[in-house]
Amino acid sequence: MSGNLCPICGKGRLETKHEVRRYGRGIDVTLVNVPVHRCPSCGEEILVIPAIEALHKLIAHDLAHSRGRLRPGEIRFLRTYLGYSSTDFAHAMGVTPETVSRWESKQAPQQMAPTAERLLRLMTLQDKPIKSYGLEDVGAGEQAAPGSLRLRPTAAGWATA
């Protein structure tokens, strides 16, 4: 894509850099060596996340195996990974949609019962992934929390960095 005309303004030639990005909302994931195509003319940035399904699977399985309790953003990520709406997830877990929104709320969180959390982890390890994830969930910057998952794209998919 480097050297191509900018698809937004049609004036600049895209320049490619490999950068470090936070990934997801409310999950501790950092992607390294991610190709970012930038237009020097209008400043448009085109982020290329390769093998997105494999990426989500790696993140989801890492969360499913994680020690400690799942946090609101992690519960939301796993629900989305499984392809559930809040309503369908509530149905699958045998709780009300209000309970699901409290599980996923940073402001007024309600911790999942340990059995519910175990069920979510088991469902995740069974894999029913969805194919898309909003690019608005890709954040700028390198400030990763210590111990956060760092992943880099490879020819075969994704590997830990």
Residues forming the site for Zn ion (CB under 5 A): 6, 8-9, 12, 39, 41-42, 44
Residue with Cβ nearer Zn ion (8 or 144): 8
CA distance 31 to 158: 10
Radius of gyration of the chain (CA): 18
Tell the smallest beta-carbon distance from residue 40 to Zn ion (Å): 8
Tell the smallest beta-carbon distance from residue 19 to Zn ion (Å): 18
Tell the smallest beta-carbon distance from residue 7 to Zn ion (Å): 8
Check if the beta carbon of residue 40 is closer than 8 Å to that of residue 146.
no
Which residue type is seen at 89? F
Residue with Cβ nearer Zn ion (12 or 129): 12
- The encoded tokens of residue 92 equal 């699958």
Counted residue by residue, the chain has a size of 161
Tell the smallest beta-carbon distance from residue 22 to Zn ion (Å): 24
Residue with Cβ nearer Zn ion (48 or 113): 48
User: What percent of the chain is helix, strand and coil (3-state, nearest 5)?
Assistant: 35, 20, 45
Residue with Cβ nearer Zn ion (37 or 71): 37
Phi-psi region of 92 (alpha: psi -120 to 50; beta: other; left: phi over 0): alpha
